[in-house]
A = this chain, B = another copy of it.
């Protein structure tokens, strides 16, 4: 079969021809219908610092957001049958550790990630553990099915475990309008947020999309000298009830803290390039706030939430706007480029070679 692989520890990737994967007793083989490009795929492609230290296996077929058809199942598999149309949870966990046995599989210390630690989905076929398969409704558009994994990140940001605070009627600040930030806007608007204020740095494509997702205000921080003041003004000095840090920018994190109302909640999904100086007293203690670190998706509460939300037509229609480009896998370089050049939100790839 054909696949897109890192074949050496450096920038770039190439199309290779290789054997169709052999599955184990607890695995399934999936014929990929569509895959999509995650920011981390771009990091692997560009071979940034994170990728250089994180990637062990070379050659590696990368890519982890995808949807496809089950064409073979291992003999111990009971939850999936041939012909099922599936997406995949990309965290492969051990199921036996403390975290896994107490409802926190998404932070299993022995997690392996599809397309990072094992071969992934930028290929004709991919083999995954059956328990990671998520069976889709047959009529779900493959592109939407593929982006359920990052959509799960967005839903998890909005609705983390152990969080009792409702979105209903709340004011929400979204800091960073990459694909997951955009999705989180669409999610909170679908969950009854009264007002959504978003910020983005310079990327006009994303700013337009943030409005399409339903943000009531979108600030380009490049053109807004004091975004904290703007947000406080809009909220009558009260600030936002809930904030999502989705950008990975230290300045955005700082702004999120500053505009959060006392007793409010901050979810942090964005990864920072460096440590960040935090004003523990004024941003956290005196305000009595709650902070949630967000990684992956709840396995599988989040997936059920995603499935349920995708039954809502208006929500599905909104999400489609986030898919700005479609290429064949043969043209994957183009897909990487439009992201690097900040022209794209989400890029999907079709297994055409």
Tell me the A residues contacting B by CB distance below 8 Å. 76, 78-79, 94-96, 98-99, 101-104, 106-109, 131, 155, 158-171, 187, 190-195, 238, 253, 261-263, 268-272, 275-281, 284-296, 299-301, 303-309, 311-312, 315
> What is the minimal beta-carbon distance from A11 to any residue of chain B, in angstroms?
23
A104-B262, A168-B308, A191-B191 are contacts. A289–B293 as well, Cβ < 8 Å? yes
A299 (CB) vs chain B CBs: closest residue: B101
> What is the minimal beta-carbon distance from A328 to any residue of chain B, in angstroms?
33
**Contact A263–B102 (Cβ < 8 Å):** yes
13 extra A-B contacts, CB within 8 A, seeds A101-B304, A194-B308, A291-B292: A98-B261, A102-B263, A106-B288, A108-B262, A167-B168, A195-B311, A271-B281, A272-B280, A275-B278, A278-B278, A285-B294, A288-B293, A290-B290
Chain B residues whose CB sits within 8 angstroms of the CB of A270 once the complex forms: 285
A166-B159, A194-B312 are contacts. A272–B281 as well, Cβ < 8 Å? yes
A275 (CB) vs chain B CBs: closest residue: B277
* Measured CA separation A166–B280 after assembly (Å): 25
Chain B residues whose CB sits within 8 angstroms of the CB of A309 once the complex forms: 168-169, 192, 194
* Measured CA separation A272–B280 after assembly (Å): 7
**Contact A262–B109 (Cβ < 8 Å):** yes
**Contact B99–A263 (Cβ < 8 Å):** yes
> What is the minimal beta-carbon distance from A312 to any residue of chain B, in angstroms?
7
A101-B300, A277-B277 are contacts. A285–B306 as well, Cβ < 8 Å? no
Residue of A277, A293, A309, A312 with most partner-chain B CB within 10 A: A293
A289 (CB) vs chain B CBs: closest residue: B293
A102-B301, A262-B109, A311-B194 are contacts. A269–B293 as well, Cβ < 8 Å? no
* Measured CA separation A185–B307 after assembly (Å): 20
> What is the minimal beta-carbon distance from A18 to any residue of chain B, in angstroms?
28
* Measured CA separation A287–B291 after assembly (Å): 12
A103-B103, A306-B169, A312-B192 are contacts. A291–B295 as well, Cβ < 8 Å? no
Chain B residues whose CB sits within 8 angstroms of the CB of A305 once the complex forms: 166, 168-169
A162-B164, A164-B164, A309-B169 are contacts. A304–B271 as well, Cβ < 8 Å? no
> What is the minimal beta-carbon distance from A133 to any residue of chain B, in angstroms?
10
**Contact B190–A238 (Cβ < 8 Å):** no
Chain B residues whose CB sits within 8 angstroms of the CB of A190 once the complex forms: 168, 192
**Contact A169–B304 (Cβ < 8 Å):** yes
* Measured CA separation A108–B263 after assembly (Å): 9
Show 18 residue pairs from A and B whose CB-CB distance is below 8 angstroms, ordered by the A residue: A78-B94, A98-B238, A101-B303, A103-B103, A104-B288, A107-B288, A108-B262, A109-B262, A162-B165, A163-B164, A169-B311, A171-B308, A192-B312, A194-B307, A269-B285, A275-B278, A285-B293, A286-B293
